[in-house]
Structure 1
Amino acid sequence: MEYWQPRFETMKRKQLEELQLKRLKKSANSVYKNVPFYKKKFDEAGVRPSDIKSVDDVRKLPFTKKTDLRDNYPFGLFAVPRSKINRLHASSGTSGKSTVVGYTKNDLKVWAELMARCFYMAGVRPGDVFQNAANYGLFTGGLGIHAGAERLGCAVVPSGTGSTQKQIEMIRDFGVTAFHATPSYALYIAETAKKLGIEPGSLPIKIGLFGAEPWSVNTRKELEKSFGIKAYDSYGLSEMMGPGVGFECKEQDGLHIWEDAFILEVLDKRGEPCDPEEKGELTLTTLCKEAMPLIRYRTGDITKLMDGECECGRTARKITKFFGRADDMLIIRGLNVFPSQIEHVLMDMPEVGEYFQVVLERVNHMDEMTVKVEMSDRAFSGELGDLKKVTGTVTKKLKEQLNLRTNVMLVEKGSLPRFEGKSKKVIDMRTSI
């Protein structure tokens, strides 16, 4: 049976807000009654769940930040007894204690349904062979993606990360038609296939589903050209549930956020709602989570709300591709720079390849940024004059985009590190000095 939920996906705004209000009241009551952290926060803000009379009243409620999850490690934000928890996931904890999230049996069911809805929207159908090249384990992209593809009726290949040559072999031999990975790993797979004498476009993949790291419009073009596919962006975060919070439809123009499961706000630095088309921080409130409902969670992701109805007919509002993360933003000589801005410039230049690395250093008390870029095959001639010309062009384009002087270093193709999971494109050495 094809997976499609028009009752929720095409719901009129008035009906949707009625559903949101009902679910918001339930979530607010749950955390106020069962989570001491939220009871204290609500009391300090002088608000009770009974004060919620409309969806807009979500603004009366306190914010939740990532530090709150760490401060309540491991189970302090759970709203159900531990006997009701069916699964635990956790972040890697590279910047402090892990953030732990829990799921009840119903949470896992809802998550799988939302994921299936996402995949169907992007054109995946029952009977597709779906290869999931994401890390299986505490990372939500493994089991979360897997469950959604199974729920839709796909034959799932749980390939995980690594063994790139084997990944290519499975894609070809198993007739994989839908593929999920980080965009950087997919580019690496394409590169590896070419080295093996296999044209990526000859593989049976028709739909590529990518996420877990920022990627540009030009990266999409490169993926679609390499594999001969349609490449779709996704959005999720473990604090909400994992992947499946939002996804692109076939229009490939913005990410639909499932508003029957989340209330979305885009807020400015003061915590006030942004105007449509104004950049701000995405803030989400869960509406269906039992184990760990979160109220007004500040994601740190910078985006814009999009105006107008989508051609696909779905009424869930859309946000733009992300401009970066508030906590990933680099401050260089007083200017705000997002790595995605650099990627956008580079991926629009045929002279350079898909791989780059930003190195930040402090020299004589001044910030210095060096962008290492791999040359593309079609631009490399070995002539010194050509190298100088490309370096000058890249430097000029970055200056125009960033309003910042950068050092550009062209490096040999294949010399920058490849990653099977999330790529690491920035090395900030300023704090180690």
Structure 2
Amino acid sequence: MSIPPLESRGKEEITNHQLKELKKLLLHVSKNSPFYKRHFEKYNIDIESINSIEALRNIPPTDKSHLQAYQRDFWCVEPAEIVEYCNTSGTEGAAVTIPLTDGDLRRLSYNEAISLACTGGDKNEIYQLTTTLDRQFMAGLAYALGARELGAGMIRVGPGLPQLQWKTILEVKPTALIVVPSFLIKLIEYAEAEGIDFRNSSVKKAICIGEPIRKNDLFFNALGEKITSKWDIELYSTYASTEMAAAFTECSAGKGGHLHPELLIAEILDDRNQPVPAGTVGELTVTTLGVEAMPLLRFKTGDMCALLEESCSCGRNTSRVSPVVGRKNQLIKYKGTTCYPPAIFDLLDNDTGISYYQVLASADQYGNDVLTIRYSASINYERRGLADKFKALLRVTPELVEMPESKILELIYTRTSRKPVKFIDNRR
């Protein structure tokens, strides 16, 4: 699949297409969404006055709390039109059910096909899916649908043990893995222990999901470096959310995840819901285009990142999103310093003596943030060195709790979670 025509066209043509689709969306939700009917009345929104993408800013944003409180009022179709129900992970409050029509499934399939194509995928690719397809997980469904639309092969192994993953790799010979990056480390460690020649296996690339592999400067973070130092495969970063039913995926240039403008309008907003300059970190806010069952207008994702506008060498003329700095509501304020969990992850991933870890944020009796690091480490690990690293990053040392590897693996890879639980927020 080549670059979608719209993505290689000029900025003006892309904007005109988005405006046309936006007008369809406004009409759709004004007729069919109880929530948006009330929203428009409350803020005196005349949809006929929205005649530019910039005018969209007249509509106050929504966020996950609105979806949790008024879930079915966002639905725009009758139950008979819904063919699939997905939901969010529920890691931040109640899970939200996302209904999809047959048209929404086609949109989801198209999104993932062009996203996989962005990584160089075509009909000759064979993907090994290491994430679940069950438990109403939209991403797993999207990968399977997208690979099929691309004409590629798909092996639905799911979140199995490294032994099962390698058995399948050696037998079927997939060319690409769809995988959480930290699980790649487990696959490498298993291959090294079992004498598997993983460097000469059929796998040439990994579509990385659920965790960042790049820093804000777009170079690999410690996790990305750790993987590529051991295994010379291509790593492609992706960013997506269930609510927007679309993805931002890197091309081979590795300069941020490309926006698919026929599927989304993207904004970056500050704390006052005002747009920030290109390249400035703020909260990613999306408007879904072409969604029938549960479209969203100016939905604040909670993810902090930047929009990159300069041209990309791949030929796409679309905006790109930078790596996610962190979740807005996960900002840690600890003894006079602030940081997002990914900065802590990078420090720990960069420590070769630490095998696994989990970051825990809690609150003391006065409501102040308390930071605890649970970790497993090699024999004779110098704990003092870890404390010094945290002093350099945060100027203070969190509570450090060393645990047996088997115990911490139970905490990270829970049966109920779709991806590794590296951060737990008990402050709320």
> Structure 1 length as normaliser, TM-score?
0.89
Paired letter, 1:396: D
Task: Please tell me the root mean square deviation across aligned C-alpha atoms, in Å.
Answer: 2.3
Aligned position for 1:86: 83
Q: What is the rounded CA distance, in whole Å, between the counterparts of 2:49 and 2:331 in structure 1?
A: 37
Is 1:148 matched with 2:140?
Answer: no
Contact 1:42 1:62 in 2 (8 A): no
Paired letter, 2:277: D
Contact 1:219 1:354 in 2 (8 A): no
Is 1:287 matched with 2:271?
Answer: no
Aligned position for 2:413: 419
Is 1:228 matched with 2:232?
Answer: yes
Deviation at 1:430, TM superposition (A): 6.1
Deviation at 1:367, TM superposition (A): 5.0
Aligned position for 1:51: 49
Paired letter, 2:353: V
Q: What is the correspondence of 1:315-394 to structure 2 with a 5 Å cutoff?
A: 315-333=317-335, 335-349=337-351, 351-353=352-354, 355-360=356-361, 368-375=370-377, 382=380, 387-388=381-382, 391-394=383-386
Deviation at 1:234, TM superposition (A): 0.6
Paired letter, 1:358: V
1:107 is paired with a residue whose SS is helix
- Which segments of structure 1 move beyond 3 Å, counting only runs of 4 or more? 92-97, 213-216, 359-368, 372-376, 407-415, 427-431
**Match of residue 299, structure 2, among 297, 300, 323:** 297
Deviation at 1:226, TM superposition (A): 3.2
Paired letter, 2:120: G
**What is the percentage of aligned positions where both structures have the same residue?**
27
Contact 1:200 1:226 in 2 (8 A): no
Contact 1:207 1:229 in 2 (8 A): yes
The 3 A distance-change label for structure 1 pair 302 and 367 is: closer
Q: What is the correspondence of 1:215-294 to structure 2 with a 5 Å cutoff?
A: 215-216=213-214, 217-241=221-245, 244-294=246-296
Is 1:71 matched with 2:69?
Answer: yes
Deviation at 1:393, TM superposition (A): 3.3
The 3 A distance-change label for structure 1 pair 157 and 71 is: same
Deviation at 1:331, TM superposition (A): 3.0
- Alignment deviations for residues 262-301 of structure 1 (CA, whole Å, 9 cap, x no partner): 1110000000011222210000001111111100000000
Count of residue pairs brought into register by the alignment: 415
Contact 2:286 2:298 in 1 (8 A): yes
Q: What is the rounded CA distance, in whole Å, between the counterparts of 2:106 and 2:364 in structure 1?
A: 53
Q: What is the rounded CA distance, in whole Å, between the counterparts of 2:394 and 2:155 in structure 1?
A: 42
Paired letter, 1:298: K
The 3 A distance-change label for structure 1 pair 26 and 231 is: same
Is 1:161 matched with 2:159?
Answer: yes
The 3 A distance-change label for structure 1 pair 59 and 228 is: same
Aligned position for 1:121: 118
> Structure 2 length as normaliser, TM-score?
0.90
Contact 2:332 2:361 in 1 (8 A): no
**Match of residue 404, structure 1, among 396, 399, 407:** 396
Q: What is the rounded CA distance, in whole Å, between the counterparts of 2:284 and 2:334 in structure 1?
A: 24
Contact 1:87 1:103 in 2 (8 A): yes
Q: What is the rounded CA distance, in whole Å, between the counterparts of 1:59 and 1:286 in structure 2?
A: 15
Deviation at 1:363, TM superposition (A): 7.0
- Alignment deviations for residues 65-102 of structure 1 (CA, whole Å, 9 cap, x no partner): 112212223x3212122222221111243544321112
Contact 1:283 1:297 in 2 (8 A): yes
Aligned position for 2:217: none
Question: Where do 5+ consecutive residues of structure 2 fail to align?
Answer: 215-220
Deviation at 1:361, TM superposition (A): 5.7
The 3 A distance-change label for structure 1 pair 97 and 42 is: same
Deviation at 1:332, TM superposition (A): 2.4
Q: What is the rounded CA distance, in whole Å, between the counterparts of 1:374 and 1:306 in structure 2?
A: 37
